[in-house]
């Protein structure tokens, strides 16, 4: 049920996309304590401005049912910024993250909801 949606302006070779998604998936599972079998990660690319300037940047929208609190969110921010820096060359000050703790009845899966 944890979800990380990554939007970035950084160019990434097709063969490196799965590597990035796998790293983010494992980090999100570890940080939230949720099984990776429930983690979803998506990636979209396109033009972005940050601070009115073009260049490599990223926005990551992170959602989960439970497991989202101040220490966890800071841990995720640290891990994701490190991964985006390593895999895409994006400086941490060019990354925004948004965290949402979802109610279980607001998250659908397999023809039903978690709550």
Instruction: Say which residues have a Cβ less than 8 Å from residue 29's Cβ, sequence separation at least 6.
Output: 2, 35, 36, 39
Question: Do 29 and 35 meet the contact criterion of CB atoms below 8 Å apart?
Answer: yes
> Would you please indicate which residues are annotated as catalytic (active-site) residues?
2
* pLDDT above 90 (res 94): yes
* pLDDT above 90 (res 67): no
Average pLDDT, stretch 77-99? 97
Q: Where are the alpha helices (DSSP H) in 8-109?
A: 14-32, 70-88
Which CATH code for domain 3-110?
3.30.429.10
Query: Considering the chain, what percentage of its residues have pLDDT values greater than 90?
Result: 86
Q: What is the DSSP string of 62-89?
A: EEEES--SHHHHHHHHHHHHHHHHHHH-
* pLDDT above 90 (res 29): yes
**pTM value?**
0.93
Average pLDDT, stretch 75-95? 97
Q: What are the residue boundaries of the structural domains of the chain, listed by start?
A: 3-110
Radius of gyration of the chain (CA): 14
Q: How far apart are CA 70 and CA 75, in angstroms?
A: 9
């Amino acid at each position: 049920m944890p979800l990380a949606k990554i939007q970035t302006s950084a160019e990434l070779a097709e063969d490196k996309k799965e590597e990035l998604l796998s790293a983010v998936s494992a980090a999100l599972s570890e940080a939230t304590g949720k099984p990776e079998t429930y983690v979803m990660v998506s990636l979209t690319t396109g033009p972005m401005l940050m601070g009115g300037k073009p260049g490599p940047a990223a926005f990551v929208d992170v959602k989960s049912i439970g497991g989202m609190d101040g220490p966890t969110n800071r841990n995720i921010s640290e891990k994701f910024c490190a991964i985006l820096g390593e895999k895409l060359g994006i400086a941490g000050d060019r990354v925004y993250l948004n965290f949402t703790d979802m109610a279980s009845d607001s998250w659908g899966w397999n023809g039903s909801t978690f709550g």
